[in-house]
Amino acid sequence: MKPAMKRLLTATFTLIIAAAAQAGVTIEQWTTGNGTRVNFVAAPTLPMLDVQVDFAAGSMFDPAGKSGLAALTRGVLDLGAGTRDETAIAEQLADLGAQLGGSADTDRASVTLRTLTAKDKLDPALAVLRDVLRKPHFDAAIFEREKARTIAGLKDAMTRPDSIAGKAFWETLYPGHPYGRQATPESIATLTRDDVVAFHGRLYNAANAQISLVGQLTRQQAEAIAEQLSAALPAGAPAELPPPPAPARAAVSAIGHPASQAHIYLGLPAIERGNPDYFPLLVGNYTLGGGGFVSRLVKEVRDKRGFAYSVYSYFAPLRQTGPFQIGLQTQRKQAREAIRVVRGVLDEFVAQGPSEEELAAAKANLSGSFPLRLDSNAKLLANVAAIGFYGLPADYLDRYREKVEAVTAAEVKAAFARHVVPGKLVTVTVAAD
| Beta strand ranges found along 240-338 (DSSP E) | 251-255, 261-271, 311-315, 322-331
Binding to another protein in span 37-56, by CB under 8 A: 41-48
10 Å CB burial of residue 421 (0-12, 13-18, 19+) is: middle
CA dihedral of residues 128, 104, 391, 235 (deg, nearest 10): 50
Q: Does 310 bind another protein (CB under 8 A)?
A: yes
- The contact mask relative to another protein for 235-274 (x = CB under 8 A, - = no) is ---------------------xxxxxx-------------
Report, in Å, the least distance between residue 372 CB and another protein: 5
Q: What are phi and psi of 193, to 5 degrees?
A: -60, -35
Q: Which of 37, 66, 74, 114 binds another protein (CB under 8 A)?
A: 114
274: left (phi over 0), alpha (psi -120 to 50) or beta: left
- The contact mask relative to another protein for 53-92 (x = CB under 8 A, - = no) is ---------------------------------xxxxxx-
Q: Does 119 bind another protein (CB under 8 A)?
A: no
CA 282/CA 286 separation, integer angstroms = 6
Q: Which of 2, 26, 105, 418 binds another protein (CB under 8 A)?
A: 26
Q: Which of 294, 382, 386, 414 binds another protein (CB under 8 A)?
A: 294
- 15 versus 374: smaller Cβ distance to another protein: 374
Q: Does 421 bind another protein (CB under 8 A)?
A: no
- The piece of 31-39, 165-173, 180-188, 409-417 that touches another protein (CB under 8 A) is 180-188
CA 278/CA 298 separation, integer angstroms = 22
Give the helix ranges, DSSP H, for 21-85: 69-77
Strand partners, 210: 37, 54
Q: Does 357 bind another protein (CB under 8 A)?
A: no
Binding to another protein in span 366-405, by CB under 8 A: 367-372, 374-378, 397-398
Q: Does 176 bind another protein (CB under 8 A)?
A: no
Report, in Å, the least distance between residue 61 CB and another protein: 24
CA 320/CA 271 separation, integer angstroms = 8
Residue 401, H or E segment: helix 396-406
- The piece of 30-38, 168-176, 186-194, 346-354 that touches another protein (CB under 8 A) is 186-194
